[in-house]
Amino acid sequence: MSGIIDFANAVFKPLIDLGAAPMMLIVLTLIALAFRVKLSKALEGGIKLAIALTAISAVIGLLTSAFQDALNAFVKSTGIQLSVTDLGWAPLATITWGSPYTLFFLLIMVIVNVVMIVMNKTNTLDVDIFDIWHLAFVGLLAMFFGANLLIATILVIFIGILKIINSDLMKPTFNDLLHAPASNPMTTTHMNYMMNPIIMVFDKIFDVIFPWLDKFDFDAADLNKKIGFWGSKFAIGIYLGIFIGLLSHQGVKEIFTLSFTAAFCLELFSLIGSWFIAAVEPLSQGITDFANRKLKGRTMNVGLDWPFIAGRAEIWAAANVLAPIMLLEALVLPGNKILPLGGIIAMGVTPALLVVTRGKIVRMIVIGALELPLFLWAGTLSAPMVTETAKKLGAFPKGLASGTMISHSTMEGPVEKFLAYLVGNASKGQITFVLYAVLALAAYLLIFVWYARQMKKRNKIYADEAAAAAAK
Between CA 395 and CA 87 the distance in angstroms is: 12
Q: What is the pLDDT along the chain (472 residues), one digit of tens a residue?
A: 566 666 656 666 676 677 667 877 887 788 788 878 888 888 888 898 788 878 877 776 777 677 767 766 766 666 666 678 777 776 777 778 777 788 789 889 989 998 999 898 999 988 777 788 899 999 999 999 999 999 999 999 999 999 999 999 999 999 888 888 877 888 999 999 999 999 999 999 988 887 777 776 666 555 545 556 665 667 767 877 887 788 778 888 888 988 888 788 777 766 776 676 677 777 767 766 776 676 666 778 888 888 788 778 788 778 878 878 887 898 889 999 887 766 767 777 899 999 999 888 889 999 999 999 999 999 999 999 998 888 877 767 666 667 778 888 888 899 999 999 999 999 998 899 999 999 999 999 999 999 999 999 988 887 777 777 666 6
- What predicted TM-score, i.e. pTM, was given to this entire model? 0.78
Quote the crossing angle between the two packed helices 149-178 and 431-471, to the nearest 10°: 20
SS3 86: strand
Helices and strands (H, E) in the chain, number of each type: 17, 6
Between CA 175 and CA 118 the distance in angstroms is: 25
SS3 126: strand
Between CA 349 and CA 372 the distance in angstroms is: 8
Half-sphere exposure of 108 (CA within 13 A, CB side): 26
How would you list the strands of the sheet with 84-86, edge to edge?
Answer: 338-339, 84-86, 405-407
Half-sphere exposure of 190 (CA within 13 A, CB side): 22
